[in-house]
Amino acid sequence: MKIIRRPRPHTFAKGTALTIGNFDGVHSGHAELFRRVVSAARAQGLVPTVVTLHPHPKEFFNPAFKLDRISTLRDRIIEMKRCGIEQVCILPFNKRMASLSPEAFVQEVLLNQLNAKQVWVGDDFRFGAKRAGDFALLKGLGESHGFTVNDLAEVQTDGSRVSSSNIREALKAGDVAKAAHMLGHPLAYSGHIIHGKKLGRTLGFPTMNLRIAGRASALTGILAVWVHGLAEKPLPAVASMGVRPTVEQSDQILLETFIPDWQGNAYGKLLRIEVLAHIRPEQHFDSLDTMVEQMHKDTAKAMAMLAANQPKISNTGC
């Protein structure tokens, strides 16, 4: 997988088949879109490419806005690679990018930088300053400039539209199973384990800390999880996703994971945490003793849930 953060003119000497979007979560609708891109690219000798923007335009225009993210960029890229995408271009969304007219966006970005030959987007796609460009305009510009524009009808599960917004709502409600069904794969977070304040080990719950990028997460609370990357098989664990309201005043999101009966050094290791279920919301406790009592209950409940299920993460294609 090739990742390009600041493309320059003629970065893509070989033509691309590409799609543009945020792709939060990389759900089953996104996966179908990626399959179309990959198929078209292979048929025409092009490079299957995903183009995404950073920061999210909503966060750029409103710095106070906090997008409840489903997944991190790392995890989105993992799923894109599983679907056969070969390169990801991360366009910096800044004042200049926001000011480009639809025509200028096509000329400077799609043609000069990305060498687009095939473009796949949803029929509700908007682009250019003030979202002035739509699918019809993009298709017309493609006909004028020699690239083909394709759309993809919405994907549904159980009669409901699959969208990142619907998945966020499911996660906010603690319905991990529903979210995973729409995603088409288990919800997971990956990253390198960092040092924390080590309060957990003084309470009998040594945790592994994974910093979650972004200012808000769609899923928070206590979770039953599988830990991939420490042993030959995934290890059952209980985790807390959030801002640690009892012990710290911070807006930094951490995923703190406790593996009962495991001893070892995980610092610096790249792990993947697969979420099975949401146990309860994050809450503030009046004392550490009360919090520890609840942590024992949470751990027992998580272990019971995990004993009745199996990890589902697969390295096969999407």
153 and 6, same structural domain? yes
Residue type, 257: T
19 and 147, same structural domain? yes
201 and 140, same structural domain? no
Q: Is 261 left (phi over 0), alpha (psi -120 to 50) or beta?
A: left
222 and 117, same structural domain? no
Query: 312 in a domain, yes or no?
Result: no
Structural domain including 88 reads 2-157
pLDDT over 60 (residue 73): yes
pLDDT over 60 (residue 246): no
134 and 247, same structural domain? no
pLDDT, one tens digit per residue, over 152-199 is: 877 777 777 789 999 999 999 999 999 999 999 999 999 999 987 777
Query: 313 in a domain, yes or no?
Result: no
Contact 2, 86 (CB under 8 A): yes
Provide DSSP, 56-91.
Answer: -HHHHH-TT----BSS-HHHHHHHHHHTT--EEEEE
**In the structure, what pLDDT confidence band is assigned to residue 316 with cuts at 50, 70 and 90?**
low
For residue 168, the tally of other CB atoms under 10 A from its CB is 20
Query: 223 in a domain, yes or no?
Result: yes
CATH classification of the domain holding 257: 2.40.30.30
111 and 27, same structural domain? yes
256 and 124, same structural domain? no
Contact 210, 193 (CB under 8 A): yes
Number of domains in the chain: 2
Contact 292, 204 (CB under 8 A): yes
195 and 71, same structural domain? no
Q: How confident is the prediction for the chain on average, in pLDDT? A: 90
Domain end: 157, 180, 215, which one? 157
pLDDT, one tens digit per residue, over 84-93 is: 999 999 999 9
**Could you check whether the bond before residue 55 is cis, i.e. omega within 30 degrees of 0?**
yes
Lowest mean pLDDT among 39-43, 82-86, 212-216, 260-264: 212-216
CA 79/CA 19 separation, integer angstroms: 15
* Confidence (pLDDT) at 88: 96
205 and 140, same structural domain? no
Contact 269, 229 (CB under 8 A): yes
13 and 134, same structural domain? yes
* Confidence (pLDDT) at 224: 98
Provide DSSP, 217-267.
Answer: BS--EEEEEEEESSSSS-EEEEEEEE--TTT------EEEEE-TT--S--T
Percent of the chain whose pLDDT exceeds 90: 70
Provide DSSP, 96-156.
Answer: HHHH--HHHHIIIIIIIIT-EEEEEEETT--BSGGG-B-HHHHHHHHHHHT-EEEEEPPPE
pLDDT over 80 (residue 54): yes
Query: 165 in a domain, yes or no?
Result: no
* Confidence (pLDDT) at 21: 92
pLDDT, one tens digit per residue, over 91-149 is: 999 999 999 999 999 999 999 999 999 999 987 889 999 999 999 999 999 999 999 99
